[in-house]
Amino acid sequence: MKKTNIKKIAISTGGGDAPGLNAVIRAVVISALQRGWECVGIRHGYNGLMIPEEYPDGDGLLTLTRKSVSGITHLGGTILGTTNKGNPLKYPTKGRDGKMCEKDRTEELVAAFRKHNIDALVAIGGDGSLGIANILSEKGICTIGVPKTIDNDLDKTVITFGFDTAVSFATECMDRLHSTAEAHRRVMVVEVMGRYAGWIALNSGISTSADVILIPEIPYDVNKAAEVINKREKSGRHYTMIVVAEGAKPRGGSVSVMSKEIGRAEKLGGIAEKVAKELESITGKECRTVVLGHLLRGGRPTTFDRLISLRFGAAAVRALEQGKTGVMVALDPPTVRYVPLKQATNRMKTVPLDCDTILTARDLGISFGD
């Protein structure tokens, strides 16, 4: 087995935050220190290396010790900070004309790794961050990826950390909304995250006995959702619970976009409000919207997410010790294995329309608006 002569590794957290990030960081640091390696954290994705002048003393790296990662396993967020505006392949830059444009700064980033004598990188992130990690690996940086997304839409791993916490909190919120919807005889339209995949909406919706679940994988007909409301009214059930993923779209229509900025993905949102207004117009029922949004990203990770995060972090260090690069740690129960980063970021893991969970929802009488 190939061994590496690693002395110093860096950790980066990029994209949206997710419960469990700090647990991964702690596992990587403790496991690396056990092997005698030095650990540094790159602040806010890769910004700590690309714009170090914006940090105290011009240093965008944070030395990570046992003390600095003590007691962080249960904390939400990330002690390194994160960003979704720091893609080195398309870095937001002000041009000579004063307008914002995108610039490829990957060579500068690689040079920064060399300058700081960083031998390897553990990149924790979603599809975008891991795509960047794959490029860095191809450019000679020894890189291991750790899958992170509350949406659970990364391919080649059964589950990503943060997903269980997001679903659990969404379920708790909808349980509370269920009682107030019933008391006031209202229609509640709850919007959850899920840009390309409806895993959060599907799992939390089934768990809370939602009446309608709208997900990106199944373009909906608002009239079908209205039929559910009217049918419940006629049977004496004067309230309806609807959960909708932010990336859901009407049949023949497109996703609801709030804004688009240079260097970042489109900001989705507003689908719950759109659906609620249409349903209110069709049925005459009072419809209220609740957007859980970033509430699903914050807070303490569940026991499951803490454990899988710690397992992923330790596995990433073992991969480096074994001389691996360009791979992502992935859960393949009951073990954690390694898959090529290129494969892991090649496609989005969406909800299969014939999967057991979809079939369960249909057997329970839940409508997908189709």
Catalytic residues: 151
Q: Report the run of H or E that residue 290 belongs to, with start and end.
A: strand 287-291
Cα-Cα-Cα-Cα dihedral sign, residues 62, 331, 201, 204 = negative
* Beta bridge partners of residue 220, listed in sequence order: 250
Q: Spell out the residues 6+ positions from residue 46 whose beta carbon is closer than 8 angstroms to its own.
A: 12, 14, 86, 88, 109, 132
Distance CA(283)–CA(227), nearest Å, equals 9
Task: Look up residue 79 and give its amino acid.
Answer: I
DSSP per-residue codes, 308-344: HHHHHHHHHHHHHHTT--SEEEEEETTEEEEEEHHHH
φ/ψ of residue 192, rounded to 5: -120, 165
* Beta bridge partners of residue 36, listed in sequence order: none
Burial 53-90 (b: 16+ CB within 10 A, else e): eebeeeebbbebeeeebeebbebbbbbbbbbbebbbeb
